[in-house]
Amino acid sequence: MASYYLMMDIGGTGVKAGILDGQGKLCGGIQRFDARAKESGEVIFSNFAWIIEQMGERFLEPEDVFCGIGMAFPGPFDYAGGISLMKGLDKYDAIYGMDIRKEVLKRVTKTRLPEEKEKCPFLFLHDVEAFALGESSFGAAAESRRIFCLCIGTGAGSAFVENGEILKHGENIPAEGWIYAMPYRESIIDDYISARGLRNVAKKHLGKELTGAELSELAGGKNEDALKSFEEFGTDVLTAVQPFLESFCPDGVVIGGQIAKSFSYFGTALEQFCREKNIRVYVTAETSERTLEGLYTGFARAKEKR
């Protein structure tokens, strides 16, 4: 009998799941499932339980078990208690304040869990922090002692890492290590360094809102207004994060999230600044594998502390 970890990167539209062995190696690739995040609590919890069962049936031998289940969620969330605090965000409203571990285990029937499934450990981490842990343990950024991680997607997710540990407080670090709510221009960073921030810049230059993928396609065709849009967005990225880079003094900067796929169009200003400061820049457009590895790292750290 072998033991494996099941890890899930849980978003508002999809769930990306993978099985990792005892050394943190991903087995069988990453599988994608519908999150069903706008439905009832019963549907959401049953869907999570079904994903656990599906992953076990697809990839484990009959005698193998999951020795731990990790779930990376966006905030707001009580990560220590495993309780979602999302409300009014058009996702997971129906499970607000509920014990996710308890509710999911009640619905797992085709078990690949230990004989006493109620004792199966769960780990909940902020999705960006899980990604940052994965980068600092398994990614190219592992060679850096101090890392600033920025994930640009729906919003501006961030994490500060030192010697493989997430820093949530301290001198030169905002509360929880989250920069999204820090003041920037007329509002906060999240309004500019995000998918909606990029759409607003596109509207300014092209007269209509475009997704990052649409804007990237135009930029690839040398559309001048698309290139100007990315240039302005890149200036905002550098201007917003520069104070944190100058105060935290990282060895490496990791850029992740959906918008990172267009980094070649908007990253010039940030790369030039980092080059002058001797800071290495790493770009990870597909963040889920590192997120799953970060959950494994979280399990390993918790085991070390016991």
Q: Both 161 and 277 in a single domain?
A: yes
14 occurs within a structural domain = yes
Domain that holds residue 191: 130-288
| Same-domain check for residues 97 and 219 | no
pLDDT of 185-196, one tens digit each?
A: 999 999 999 999
Asked whether residue 275 falls in the same domain as residue 158, the answer is yes
Q: Does residue 19 share a domain with residue 100?
A: yes
79 and 175 co-located in one domain: no
21-63 tens-digit pLDDT: 989 899 888 999 999 999 999 999 999 999 999 999 888 888 8
Do 137 and 276 belong together in one domain?
A: yes
112 shares its domain with 149: no
Q: 143 and 241: one domain?
A: yes
- Give long-range contacts, CB 8 A cutoff, 24+ apart: 108-113: 108/49, 108/52, 108/53, 109/49, 109/53, 110/53, 110/56, 110/57, 111/53, 111/56, 112/52, 112/53, 112/55, 112/56, 112/57, 112/60, 112/64, 112/65, 112/66, 113/52, 113/65, 113/66
Residue 25 included in any domain: yes
Q: Is residue 134 part of a domain?
A: yes
159 shares a domain with 18: no
Angle between helices 195-206 and 212-220 (to 10 degrees): 50
* pLDDT, tens only, 236-283: 999 999 999 999 999 999 999 989 999 999 999 999 999 999 999 999
Q: Is residue 306 part of a domain?
A: no
Which of residues 57, 85, 120 is at a domain's end? 120
pTM (2 d.p.): 0.90
> Is residue 20's pLDDT more than 70?
yes
Please report whether residue 150 resides in a domain: yes
Q: 158 and 274: one domain?
A: yes
- Give the CATH number for residue 182: 3.30.420.40
pLDDT at position 170 is: 84
Across the chain, what does the average pLDDT equal?
92
Identify which has the larger pLDDT, 65 or 173. 173
Tell me how many domains the chain contains: 2
Question: 136 and 79, same structural domain?
Answer: no
Report, as an integer, the average pLDDT of 171-183: 91
Residues 246, 139 share a domain? yes
Residue ending a domain, among 120, 141, 161, is 120
